[in-house]
C-alpha cells in the first residue's frame, strides 16, 4: 500500500489521536500524518468529519473513518494479518473489552475534564474521589482481563490497553499539576505496574507525549480561555 | 445445547427493545426478567454494579451490559442474520451512526419532544440538524442496513417508534412526514417488520406511560435508567 493511501488527521496532544497512532504502528501500517493546527479546522477535516469536525480522522483511500475506537477496530479488521488481533477472539472477553473502553470514554475520562475546570476545593475533592473509585473498578477489570499476564489484552497490547493507556500522559500531567496521585500503588498496584509497562513499550513510548509537554499545552489553553473571557 | 440465556430488562425501554430484536433476529430463546426501575433488584445490582442499568444479558450466567456492547456480542456469538455488515468500512460506518444516535440523538430528540416555548424551538432546531444527517445517511435505502435491518436500524428504534408515541402525547412535531419524508418512511417500514413488530411494546402502553410523565414535569429530564 502506498504511504499516501492512509492518512491520519491528528493533533499530537490528543489521546484519541495517540490511540490511532499506536495501533497503526502495532500493525506496521505506513501512513501520512497531517497535524491539524489548533484551534483552526482545515477544509480537509471539515470535509472528512462533517458531523463532529474533530480529530482523529483516518482516511483510507478516499474513505474517512471517525471516532478513535471505531478507527482502532477498523484498522484491526483491515490489517488483520499484521500482528495479533487487538480485540479478544472470545466473544465474552471481547464484550468486556468493549464495555470497559466505553466506561473509560463515557464515564471515567470526563471526570478528568471536570477536574480541570473545577474551581472550588470541595468540588475538586469530590471529583478526585470519583476518579479514584473509577480506577479501583479498572484495577478489578485489569485483573480479570489480563488473567495474570502483562496487559488487559493478555500477552500483547490490546484494545483496552490502548483505550486506557492513551490517557496516561494526561493522567500524569494532572497529577503533577494538582499534586495529587491518581494512580496509587497502594490502591491500584496492578494498574500502576501495567502503566509503567505500557508507557515503556517500544511502540507506545514514541507516540505518547511527555507529561511536561502536555502541561505546557494545558497552560496555553487556559491562558487562551482567560484572554477570551477578559477581552470584550 | 444446555445454553442459558436471560435478559434483565424493561419492556417500555428502547434500549431493552434493541436487544430483544437482536435475539429474535438470531432465533435465540431466552428468559425475560422484567425489572422495576423504581425499585432495582439485587439481581440487577449484582450483574451491572457499574451502571446499575438495564438491559443486561446473561449468557450461561455471565453478564453483559450496555446495549451497544450486547448487540455486538449477540452478533458474534450466534449464527443467523447479520446485525453488523461484513465489510470493515461498512462496519465502521454502522458503528459510527449507532454511536451518533446514542451520543447525540437520544437526548436531543427527547428534549425536543418534551420542552416548551423558546426552549423547545431551540431544541427542535438541534433535533432537525441531527435528523437531517440521518435522512442523508439513509439515502434511497429501505433500511440503514440495506435491504434488511441492521445495527443502525435497531439502535434507532427510539426514533422509529418512541418519538411518535411522545409526539402523540405532547403534540410536538419533531419527526414528521413533511420534514423528513425518507426517515418517516423508514420508521414505518421498520416498525412493520415482523421481527420488530413482535418486540415493540404496545403503543397504548407507551402513550399511557408518557401521559403520566406529562403530569409529572420534574421527571422529564433526560436521565435514562437504561442504556
- Tell me the DSSP string of A40-90: ---HHHHHH-TTT--S-EEEETTEEEESHHHHHHHHHHHTTTSSS-SS-SS
Whether the predicted pLDDT of A15 surpasses 50: yes
- State in Å, rounded, how far the first CA of chain B is from the last one: 30
pLDDT in tens, A119-154: 888 998 999 999 999 999 999 999 999 999 999 999
- What average pLDDT score do residues B171-192 get? 96
Whether the predicted pLDDT of A164 surpasses 80: yes
CA angle A177, A183, A184 (to 5 degrees): 110
Say whether residue A73 is in contact with chain B using an 8 A CB cutoff.
yes
Strand, helix or coil at A173? Answer: helix
pLDDT in tens, A204-224: 999 999 999 999 998 888 888
Strand, helix or coil at A194? Answer: helix
pLDDT class for B3, splitting at 50, 70, 90?
confident
Contact A86, A23 (CB under 8 A): yes
Whether the predicted pLDDT of A225 surpasses 90: no
Whether the predicted pLDDT of A83 surpasses 50: yes
Q: What is the pLDDT of residue A37?
A: 82
Strand, helix or coil at A126? Answer: helix
Q: Which of B70, B96, B137 to mutate to test the interface with A (most CBs of A within 10 A)?
A: B96
Q: What is the pLDDT of residue A229?
A: 76
Grid look-up 449507532 returns B98
- What average pLDDT score do residues B183-208 get? 96
- Using CB atoms, pick whichever of B70, B88, B100 lies closest to residue A78: B88
Q: What is the pLDDT of residue A52?
A: 92
Whether the predicted pLDDT of A2 surpasses 60: no
Residue A123 has what DSSP assignment? Answer: H
Residue of B nearest to A96 (CA): B64
- Which residues lie below 8 Å from residue B86, measured CB to CB, with a gap of 6+? none
Q: What is the pLDDT of residue A118?
A: 81
- Which residues lie below 8 Å from residue A110, measured CB to CB, with a gap of 6+? none
- What average pLDDT score do residues A17-36 get? 97
pLDDT class for A187, splitting at 50, 70, 90?
very high
Whether the predicted pLDDT of B224 surpasses 80: no
CA B142 – CA B157 distance, rounded (Å)? 15
Contact check, Cβ <8 Å, A74/B50? no
With a CB-CB cutoff of 8 Å, which residues 57-96 of chain B face chain A? 59, 62, 64-66, 68-70, 72-73, 76-77, 88-89, 91-92, 95-96
Percent of chain B predicted with pLDDT > 90? 92
Q: How much is the mean pLDDT over chain A?
A: 93
CA B14 – CA B86 distance, rounded (Å)? 25
Q: What is the pLDDT of residue A4?
A: 67
Q: Which of A58, A65, A95, A133 to mutate to test the interface with B (most CBs of B within 10 A)?
A: A95
pLDDT in tens, B136-162: 999 999 999 999 999 999 999 999 999
Contact check, Cβ <8 Å, A74/B59? no
Whether the predicted pLDDT of B2 surpasses 70: no
Whether the predicted pLDDT of A3 surpasses 60: no
CA A33 – CA A95 distance, rounded (Å)? 31
CA B19 – CA B30 distance, rounded (Å)? 11
Cell representation of residue B154: 435497531
How many other CB atoms sit within 10 Å of the CB of residue B40?
15
pLDDT in tens, B84-135: 999 999 999 999 999 999 999 999 999 999 999 999 999 999 999 999 999 9
Contact check, Cβ <8 Å, B66/A67? no
- What average pLDDT score do residues B11-32 get? 97
CA A138 – CA B196 distance, rounded (Å)? 36
CA B214 – CA B169 distance, rounded (Å)? 8
**Predicted ipTM?**
0.94
- Using CB atoms, pick whichever of A51, A66, A91 lies closest to residue B77: A91
Q: What is the pLDDT of residue A1?
A: 47
Q: Give me the half-sphere count of Cα atoms (radius 13 Å) on the Cβ side of residue A226.
A: 6
- What average pLDDT score do residues A181-189 get? 94
Amino acid at each position: 500500500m502506498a504511504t499516501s493511501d492512509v492518512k491520519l488527521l491528528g493533533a499530537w496532544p490528543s489521546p484519541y489521536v495517540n490511540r490511532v497512532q499506536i495501533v497503526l504502528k502495532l500493525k506496521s501500517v505506513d501512513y501520512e500524518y497531517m497535524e491539524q493546527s489548533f484551534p483552526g479546522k482545515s477544509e480537509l477535516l471539515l470535509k472528512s468529519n462533517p458531523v463532529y469536525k474533530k480529530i482523529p480522522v483516518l482516511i483510507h483511500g478516499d474513505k474517512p473513518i471517525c471516532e478513535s475506537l471505531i478507527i482502532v477496530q477498523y484498522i484491526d479488521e483491515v490489517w488483520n494479518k499484521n500482528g495479533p488481533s487487538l480485540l479478544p477472539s472470545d466473544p465474552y472477553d471481547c464484550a468486556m473489552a468493549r464495555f470497559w473502553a466505553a466506561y473509560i470514554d463515557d464515564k471515567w475520562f470526563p471526570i478528568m475534564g471536570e477536574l480541570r475546570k473545577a474551581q472550588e476545593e470541595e468540588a475538586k475533592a469530590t471529583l478526585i474521589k470519583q476518579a479514584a473509585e473509577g480506577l479501583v473498578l479498572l484495577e478489578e477489570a485489569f485483573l480479570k482481563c489480563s488473567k495474570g499476564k502483562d496487559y488487559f489484552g493478555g500477552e500483547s497490547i490490546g484494545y483496552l490497553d490502548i483505550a486506557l493507556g492513551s490517557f496516561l500522559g494526561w493522567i500524569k500531567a494532572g497529577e503533577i499539576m494538582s499534586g495529587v496521585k491518581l494512580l496509587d500503588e497502594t490502591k491500584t498496584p496492578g494498574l500502576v505496574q501495567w502503566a509503567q509497562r505500557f508507557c515503556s513499550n517500544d511502540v507506545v513510548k514514541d507516540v505518547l507525549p511527555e507529561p511536561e509537554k502536555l502541561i505546557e499545552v494545558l497552560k496555553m489553553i487556559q491562558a487562551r480561555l482567560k484572554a477570551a473571557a477578559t477581552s470584550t | 445445547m444446555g445454553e442459558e440465556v436471560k435478559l434483565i430488562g424493561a419492556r417500555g425501554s428502547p434500549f431493552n427493545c434493541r436487544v430483544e430484536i437482536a435475539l429474535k433476529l438470531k432465533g435465540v430463546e431466552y428468559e425475560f426478567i422484567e425489572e422495576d426501575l423504581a425499585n432495582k433488584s439485587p439481581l440487577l445490582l449484582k450483574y451491572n454494579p457499574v451502571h446499575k442499568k438495564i438491559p443486561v444479558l446473561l449468557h450461561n450466567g455471565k453478564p453483559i451490559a450496555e446495549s451497544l456492547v450486547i448487540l455486538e456480542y449477540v452478533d458474534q456469538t450466534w449464527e443467523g442474520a447479520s446485525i453488523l455488515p461484513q465489510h470493515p468500512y461498512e462496519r465502521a460506518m454502522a458503528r459510527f451512526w449507532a454511536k451518533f444516535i446514542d451520543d447525540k440523538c437520544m437526548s436531543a430528540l427527547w428534549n425536543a419532544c418534551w420542552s416548551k416555548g423558546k426552549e423547545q424551538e431551540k431544541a427542535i432546531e438541534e433535533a432537525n440538524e441531527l435528523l437531517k444527517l440521518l435522512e442523508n445517511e439513509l439515502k434511497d435505502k429501505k433500511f440503514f442496513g440495506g435491504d434488511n435491518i441492521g445495527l443502525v436500524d435497531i439502535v434507532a428504534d427510539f426514533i422509529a417508534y418512541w418519538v411518535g408515541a411522545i409526539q402523540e402525547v405532547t403534540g410536538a412535531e419533531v419527526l414528521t412526514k413533511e420534514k423528513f419524508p425518507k426517515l418517516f418512511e423508514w420508521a414505518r417500514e421498520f416498525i412493520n417488520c415482523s421481527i420488530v413488530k413482535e418486540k415493540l411494546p404496545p403503543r397504548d402502553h407507551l402513550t399511557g406511560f408518557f401521559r403520566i410523565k406529562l403530569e409529572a414535569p420534574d421527571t422529564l429530564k433526560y436521565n435514562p435508567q437504561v442504556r
